[in-house]
Every structure is written in C-alpha cells, then in structure tokens.
Structure 1
Amino acid sequence: MENETISDTYDVIFIGSGMGSLTAASLLTQFAGKKVLILEKHFQPGGFTHEFQRKQGKFHWDVGIHYVGDMHEEGLCKKISDKVTGKKVIWKRMPDPFERLVFPNSTFDIYGDPAKFQADLIRRFPEEQPAIEKYLKDIKKTSALFGKSLMLRLSPPPLESFSELLGEGGIRTLKEYFDANFKSEELKGILAAQWGDHGLPPSKVAFAMHASLVQHYINGGYYPVGGAGRIFDAVEEIVVKGGGTVLSSTEVLEILVQDGKAVGVRTKALRGEGLEREFRAPVVVSCAGAYPTYTKLVPESVPVPFRNSLLDFYDRERMTTSLCLYLGLSDSPAKLGFKGENYWIFSSPDHDRNFSRRNDWIEGSGEIPNIYVSFPSLKNPEAKHHTADVITFTDYDHFAKWKSLPWKKRGEDYKSLKEKITNRMLMTLERRFPGFGKLVEYSELSTPITNEHFTSHPDGAIYGLACVAERYDKEKCPWFDVRTPVSGLYLTGADAGSPGIAGAMMAGLAAATAVVGDSRMLKLLRN
C-alpha cells in the first residue's frame, strides 16, 4: 500500500514487524477490535521471520527461524501460534535426532523425547545419574516459573524466585549450577551445547534462561511448512481485514510524547523522496529493543529514570554477534547422510573457552570454535531446491569501520574479508563432512553490520540485550518489562520476553494483555 493513501490515525502503532509485533498486532486486531499500523524499516516485513531468495528465486532462506520448540499439539507455543495465524501456519516436526552435537572426540544425539534424553545421558554418564535426574527436574520447574510469571506479571520473574526454587543459595549462572551439581566436563559440554540459541556461554548466561531453552526443545524441534514467511502472510491478512496496515521501508525516527503520554510516531520513508510523516495513536508498542527504544526513539527531553543505567548495562554486557553463511546446494544434502537435523560443532566441550576464542580464527589460522549447521530444505516439505545455513559467532569490531557505507556497496576490503570468512567456514565443513563443498552452488555471507542496517539492533546482535543473571534483578534492570515509564508506550520482542521466535511470541502475548488491561488474552489459550 502506498504511503500517501493510508490513514494517519490508528488505535495501536507497532514499531518493527518482528514476531513480538506480529503476535500482539494479530491478537489485538482479532480479539480487541483494534485498528493497528505496523511499521517496518526493512523493505521485506516480518523481522526475523522474513525470508529472501537468490538466483532468480531458485534458492529460499529464512533469516531467523531455524527451528522452534513446543509446537506439539498440546504445546503452549502451538496454541499461541494457532491463535496468531488463524491456524494457517503448519509446523512440521523435525526428524529425530533433531540435534547432533559434535565434539573433537565424541558426538551426542538429542531426541525430542524427554525420557530418552534422560536415559541417553545416564547411559553415557552413569556415575552422574542422581545429578542428571535432579537437573531435568530443576529445568522443568524453573522454566514453568519463568513462563507463568511472564504471562501473569508481564515481565520475567525476579532473580530470588529462581534461587528459592532451586534451593541452592547463590546460584545465578549456568556455570554455577554445573559446578555445584556435576563432575564431568564432557557432560557439562553436552548440556550447554545449545547456548548458541541465546548467545552466551555458561559463565555468563542466567540459569533461568538456559532452563527455559532446554525445556522449550524437550519435545523436539519444528519448522513451518512453506517457510517462515507464512507467519507474516497469515498475520498481514488478519491485520488488513481488521482495517489495519503494514508499511515497509519506513523508519521510525521518534516516538511522539505529549504530557508524558505516547501519542504517535514520526517516520521517514526510505523509498522515493524520503518524506517524513507523523502517525497518531494512543498506544505505541516498540519491537525495536529496549536499548534503541529508550536511548534513540524516546526523546531525551522525556524523563526515563533508568536511561543511564541501561547505557551502563549495554556497555558492560555487549552481546556477541553472529555471521550467517547462506548456501544454495546443487543436490540434496541427504546424499551425505543428513536427514534435516541441526549440527552443533565445537572445538572443545568447554563452551566458555570456545566463546573466548570466537575472534581468533578470523585473523589467524585457528579452528572455528563454534559452528551451527542447518538444512532448511530438508525441514520444509515444500522446498523445491536445497539450502543450508551455517552460523558462527564473532564480535562487531571486525566490521564496524564499514557500518556507515551503503548496503552492497562497502568496497573491496569488506568484500575480501567476507570471502576469506566464507572460505574458512566452507573448509571447516569440508573437513567434517567430506564432499560437502561439491554441493555448494551459491554462497552469501551476512555480517553484523547487515543485521544492524536492516534491524537497527545495536552491534547487529540478533538476540537483544544479554540474558545474564542481572537481567532478572528488577531493581537493577527495570527495562526488561512490557510496561514502560511512558504512559501508552509498551515494549515487545526479545527484550520483553527472551531470545528467539518463541520468546518474542510470548512477549507479544504479554504486550497485548498489557494493552487491553485485563486477562482476556490469556483466556484465549484455554479455548
């Protein structure tokens, strides 16, 4: 829809079209009769649910969804997804094992069966049986507390709740839990191997975040049939039918605040003449992240009591960033034995060591310490051509000097660095899976400055602000909340929930609940 032909006024304006916004916008349209406007900076709406294609549409990739848990028939995420999309997104269960962990001298397969997961761990580490059984119980209890508290309080539960639940005074991080309960370093390496899904190693991540992640995938991984773009398509249809609008290539420059209340946004069109325009609504929901919202979008003249504390937190807990290599394949990877499972490949079972070495390989000749491999085309029954995603972690500093240059026009030095990184990642895969290189027909590397360019996420970090233990201390970190100090302004997305599509979806439910001010959104899940 052309910018000039749409209305200036709405009931709710959403900044960003990620999963948090899509969830809240759909629920508020369907069940509260709200006319909503979703504004997206990228030319392709959907946030990290959007997909793109190359080689005249031959190859398709999803930029953010690699797999999602809790999508079995009785799963909470499945219930929310069905409400949000009108049951128009079908989730296909990945084949078991859905995760394969690869260490220098061993492998471990994870099946979407809690009993088998426990049995496999005990079979490998019989001397740790009591600790393993306790761990799985603690994971379940902690995750339940986290989810219930987020929905009822609209914010993560306080840190002391987790300590009381575990009965282990002083346990905050995953490493502290491991050190208090396990002896085997190999076992610790297996249990923490999915840390790439939240971006922090055991010494830094809150045990509560780890617990939520493991429990989320305890019944296996799922992938949307037809690709992640089906999510946005389903929600857009609902929003437009309800009188709302989705506007892409539109950057929000400022949240308009009058007399302490959010009243709309000031925007700039990124296509055409770049005209500025104001849109008005009594409610604004930001999916841009806590840091951009409070430090850039809310004017400095508007008092935010924790603004300086948030700046300090961000400087102290800078998130690691990721590199994603998108591969188009000439033939099915099934010919090399892949069945659609994810691969987590590590140079050591010590994930803190792996994390500390995340930059060494770019400038030196060392091994890539952490690498994730996913095959979207083997997960999606509608895929016509084969693809792979390869992800590793690094720091933003390697790319910062090119950040101000236009996308796809960043010069030969940038291009050469990307080619070097691409070759190193492909060499790593070839060593692990001989013959893999012969399948690669097309490759394209996405860097943190590309993420930053399209999403405005600081440093191009894809997970939002860090899930360190301090995040759950409400007095120290009050910005991790759906509600904000500005009347009429709400937060959604990863910073109001937790990293990943499911975490953002839960935050979307919480945001919709906060906007209507009653429990009708939560009651929907019982129907």
Structure 2
Amino acid sequence: MKNENLNDNFDLICIGSGMGSLTVASLLSRYAGKKILVIEKHFQVGGYTHAFARKQNKFHWDVGIHYVGDMHSGGFSRLLMDKITNKKVVWNKMPEPFEKFVYPNRTFELFGNEEKFKSDLIAEFLDEEESIHKYFKDLHKASALFGKSMMMKSTTPELSAFTAQMENPEIVTLKDYLDHHFKNEDIKAILASQWGDYGLPPSKCLFATHAALVVHYFNGGFYPVGGGGKIFESVEPIIEGNGGAVINTTEVVNIIIENGKAIGVKTKFLRGEKKERDYFAPIIVSCAGAYPTYMKLIPESVPIPFRKSLSEFYNKEKMATSVCVYMGLSESPAKLGFKGENYWIFASNDHEENFRKRNEWLENFGEVKNLYMSFPSLKDPDAKNHTADMIAFTDYSLFEKWKDLPWKKRGEQYEEFKKKIADSVVDTIEMRFPGFKNIVEYIEVSTPLTNEHFTSHPDGAIYGLACVPERYDKTKSPWFDVTTPIEGLFLTGVDAGGSPGIAGAMMGGLATTLKILGSRDILKNILKE
C-alpha cells in the first residue's frame, strides 16, 4: 500500500518486517483483532526472511533462511509457524545427512535423528561413550529451560537457572562444558560445529544457547518451498484483512514519546522526495534490535537508565559479521555429488583459532579456511534454476572505509575487493570439488555494509547482540527483554528471544505477543493442529 493512501492511526505499529514483527502482526491481527502497520526500511519486505532474484529473475536466493529446525509435524516451531502463516508455507525436509562437518582429518555427517547422532558419535569415539550419553541429557535439560521460561514468563531464563543445572557452577560456556566432560579434541570440535549458527566460538557462547540450537535440529533441517519470501506473502493478507498495512522503503527516524509513553513513530520515505510523516498507535513494537532501538530510535532527550552500559556491552561483545557469496549455476550441483546438505568446512578442530583467524583469507586472498556452503535449489522442489550461497565470517573493520558511500556506488576499489572475495571462494570450492568453477554462471557478493545499509544493524551484525552469558544476567543486561522502560514500547525479534535465527526471532515475536495480550490463552490455539 502506498504511504499517501494510509490513515495516520493504528492499534499497533511494528518497526521492521523481520520474523519477530511478522509473528506479532499475524497473531495479534488474527487473535486480537488489531489493526497493525508494519514499516520496513528495505524495498524488499520480510527482513531476513526475504528473497531476491538476479539475471532477469532467473536465479533466486534467500538472504537469511538457509535451513530451519523443528519444522516436523507436531514440532512447536512448526505449529507456531503454521498459525503465523495460516498454513500457507510448505516445509520441505532436507535430504539426509542434512549437514556435513568437514575437518582436515575427518568428516562427520549429521542426520536428523537424535539416536543416530548419538550412535554415530559413539561409533567414532567409544572411549567417550559415557560423556556422550550425559551430553544429550544435558542438551535436553538446558534447552527445556528456554521453552518453559518463554511460555510461562515471556522472557528468557536467568543465567542462574542455567548454571544451577550444571554439576559444577563454573560450567557456563560451551567450551567450559566440553573441556570438563570430554578429552578427545576431535569430538569437542564436532559437537561445537554449528557455532556459525549463532556466530560465537565455544569460549563465548552460553552452553544453554548451544543446547537449544542442537535440540532444534534433532529432527533435521527444513526449507520453505518457494523460498523464504513465502512467509511474508502468507502474512500480508492476514494483516491487510484486519485493516492493517505494510509499507516499504520507509525508515523510522525515531519513536515519538510523550509523558513517558510511546505514541507513534516519525518516518521518512526513502525514494524520490524524502517525505516525512508521523504514524500513531498506543503500542509500538520494535524489531530493529535492542541497540538501534535504545541508542537511535528513542530520542536522546528521553532518559534510559542503561544506555551507557548497553553501549559498553556492545563494544565489548561486538559480533562477527559475514560476507555472503551468491552464485547462479548453469547446471545442477548434484553432478558433483551434492544432494542439498549444508557443509561446514573448518581449517582445524580448534574453533577458537578458527574464529580468531576469520580475517586471514581476506588479507592475502588465499584459501577460505572456514566456510559454510549451502545449495538452496537442491532444498527447494520449486526451484527452476540452480543456486548456491557461501558464507564466511569476518569483521566490519575491513569494510569500514567504504561505509559512508552509497549502496552500489562505493567505487572501483570496493568492487575489486568484492571480486577478490568471490574468486577466493570459488577457488576454495574448486580445490575440494573439481569442476565446480565450470558451472558458476553468475556471482554476487554481499558484505557487512550491505547488511548495515538494509537492516540498520550496527556493524552489519546478522545475529543481533551476542549470546554471551552476560546476556542472560538481567541485572547486568536489562535491555534483553520484551518490555522497555517506555510505556507502550516493546521489543521483539532475536534480542527479545533467547537465541538468533528465524526460530529465535519467531519465539521473540511470540513472547512479545503474549506480553501485549497479558494472557496465555493464545497458546491453546497454537497447540491445536
């Protein structure tokens, strides 16, 4: 809907159109009759669920959905997603094994079956059998805390609740856990292989956050048929059906606050004449992230008691960001043996070192030592042409000198830098899978500057604020909560949820919905198949 055709007043306004906002907007439209306005800065709506196309619409990629867990029949994430999308999104189970963890001395294949995962580990590491059994029990215990707390309290559990579960109170991080229970360095590496899904090495990540992720994929990985854009396509009619609207290419400049209460937002249309306009609602939900909300969207004149400590937390725990290389292929990658599984390729079994050396390949443009590989077209039965995307972690600082230049107009030096990135990634894959270079027809590189430009996430971070232990200490990090010090203003998305990713953002959206309603009755509807 065009901005000029909109009324100024709504029941609720969502800032951003990511999975957190889509969850809030769909559920409150359906179950509470709310008239909702969703405002998106990007010209493509959907946040990290959106898809894009290139080469005359020939090739399609998702920017954020590479795979989602717990989408099997009866899984809570599936039940919730079906309610949000009115069952309009079909989820295709990835082929098995759905992930391969590739190390210099071995490759471990991960199947979407908990017992097989366990038995495969025991078969390779018989001396660690007792610890393996304990590990799986502890995964379930730690993961259950997230679900119970989000359902009952609409918030993540306190750090003390996680540490109380451990037999040793000094076991806090994933590295603490692995070093305490396992001796073999190879099994430690394998168990931590999915750290890229939350962007932190084992020494930084809370064990319980890792546990929630691993349990999330016990039934395999799933991919939306037709791509992630189907999520927004299914939600938009729900919003509009109740008198609401979704607008794009519109930036929220700030949240309007009067007498300590959020009453609306000031916006700026980003194309053509930069028109400003105010929209009003008694409830404002920010899916922009905790840091942008408190440091940018809430005017400086409005006192927030923890602004300084939030800034200190962010600067201390800056998240790694990433480069993503999107490829259009002239032939199916199946000819090279790929079936649609993900690959996590590591330089060593020391993930602390892998994380520490994440920028080395960008300094000499040699082999990419740590690389995630995904083939969307092999996961999606509706794909008409074949695609691949590759992700490698890096730091924003390597791209910072171009940050003030406009999108697509950052100059020859920047374009040359991106070309070297693309060449290094292709050459790395070619070394492992000869013949791959011959089927690459189109290639495009997305950098941290791209992330920052379209999402406003500081430093182009893709996972929100870091899932370090301090995040779950509410006395030290009060900004990780659905509620804010401003009446009528709520957070949603990954910073309100317990973990990153589409599922984490969706759980953040559910927590926000429950808090706004002040009732858990909606859970009965969600749990009805």
TM-score by length of 2: 0.99
C-alpha separation in 1, matches of 2:23 and 2:479: 21
Cα deviation digits, residues 321-364 of structure 1 (max 9, x gap):
00000000000000001000000000101111000000111112
Shift of 1:247: 0.3
Contact 1:51–1:228 (Cα < 8 Å) also in 2: yes
Of 149-158 and 278-287, more deviation after overlay is shown by: 149-158
Shift of 1:524: 2.1
C-alpha separation in 2, matches of 1:197 and 1:276: 38
Name the counterpart of 2:136. 136
C-alpha separation in 2, matches of 1:480 and 1:2: 34
Alignment of 1:235-246 (within 5 A): 235-246=235-246
Of 277-286 and 164-173, more deviation after overlay is shown by: 164-173
Cα deviation digits, residues 447-484 of structure 1 (max 9, x gap):
00010000000100100000111111110001111111
Counterpart AA for 1:105: N
C-alpha separation in 2, matches of 1:159 and 1:317: 17
**Is the partner of 2:442 in helix, strand or coil?**
strand
C-alpha separation in 2, matches of 1:473 and 1:314: 15
Counterpart AA for 1:500: G
Name the counterpart of 1:47. 47
Could you say if the C-alpha distance between residues 365 and 421 of structure 1 is closer, same or farther in structure 2, counting changes exceeding 3 Å?
Answer: closer
Name the counterpart of 1:69. 69
Name the counterpart of 1:475. 475
Name the counterpart of 1:445. 445
Q: Does residue 395 of the first structure (1) align with residue 395 of the second (2)?
A: yes
C-alpha separation in 2, matches of 1:82 and 1:243: 22
Name the counterpart of 1:150. 150
Contact 1:97–1:109 (Cα < 8 Å) also in 2: yes
Contact 2:365–2:421 (Cα < 8 Å) also in 1: no
Counterpart AA for 2:283: V
C-alpha separation in 1, matches of 2:292 and 2:42: 16
Shift of 1:486: 0.5
C-alpha separation in 2, matches of 1:7 and 1:189: 55
Percent identity between the two aligned chains? 62
- Over the aligned positions, Cα root-mean-square deviation in angstroms equals 0.8
Of 243-252 and 510-519, more deviation after overlay is shown by: 510-519
Contact 1:509–1:521 (Cα < 8 Å) also in 2: no
Contact 1:348–1:354 (Cα < 8 Å) also in 2: yes
Contact 1:11–1:283 (Cα < 8 Å) also in 2: yes
Counterpart AA for 1:132: I
C-alpha separation in 2, matches of 1:53 and 1:148: 40
Cα deviation digits, residues 171-221 of structure 1 (max 9, x gap):
111000111100011001100001110000101111111001100001100
Contact 1:347–1:370 (Cα < 8 Å) also in 2: yes
C-alpha separation in 1, matches of 2:166 and 2:341: 32
Shift of 1:366: 5.1
C-alpha separation in 1, matches of 2:427 and 2:525: 50
Q: Does residue 413 of the first structure (1) align with residue 413 of the second (2)?
A: yes
Shift of 1:49: 0.4
Alignment of 1:120-519 (within 5 A): 120-364=120-364, 367-497=367-497, 498-519=499-520
C-alpha separation in 2, matches of 1:292 and 1:447: 20
Shift of 1:319: 0.4
Counterpart AA for 1:403: K
**Is the partner of 2:495 in helix, strand or coil?**
helix
Q: Does residue 111 of the first structure (1) align with residue 114 of the second (2)?
A: no
**Is the partner of 2:265 in helix, strand or coil?**
strand
Shift of 1:367: 3.7
**Is the partner of 2:328 in helix, strand or coil?**
strand
C-alpha separation in 1, matches of 2:151 and 2:305: 25
Cα deviation digits, residues 22-69 of structure 1 (max 9, x gap):
011000000000000000000000000000000000000000000000
C-alpha separation in 1, matches of 2:504 and 2:176: 24
Counterpart AA for 2:96: D
C-alpha separation in 2, matches of 1:374 and 1:199: 17
C-alpha separation in 1, matches of 2:482 and 2:494: 10
Contact 1:320–1:394 (Cα < 8 Å) also in 2: yes
Contact 2:365–2:424 (Cα < 8 Å) also in 1: no
Counterpart AA for 2:12: V
Q: Does residue 520 of the first structure (1) align with residue 521 of the second (2)?
A: yes
Shift of 1:166: 2.1
Contact 1:16–1:287 (Cα < 8 Å) also in 2: yes
C-alpha separation in 2, matches of 1:403 and 1:365: 21
Contact 2:365–2:420 (Cα < 8 Å) also in 1: no
C-alpha separation in 1, matches of 2:263 and 2:148: 31
C-alpha separation in 1, matches of 2:365 and 2:235: 46
Name the counterpart of 2:12. 12
Please, which runs of 5 or more residues in structure 2 have no aligned partner?
none
Alignment of 1:26-37 (within 5 A): 26-37=26-37
C-alpha separation in 2, matches of 1:420 and 1:430: 15
Shift of 1:301: 1.4
Name the counterpart of 1:79. 79
C-alpha separation in 2, matches of 1:301 and 1:409: 35
Q: Does residue 22 of the first structure (1) align with residue 22 of the second (2)?
A: yes
C-alpha separation in 2, matches of 1:450 and 1:56: 21
Please, which runs of 5 or more residues in structure 1 have no aligned partner?
none
C-alpha separation in 1, matches of 2:214 and 2:9: 43
C-alpha separation in 2, matches of 1:188 and 1:196: 15
**Number of equivalences:** 527
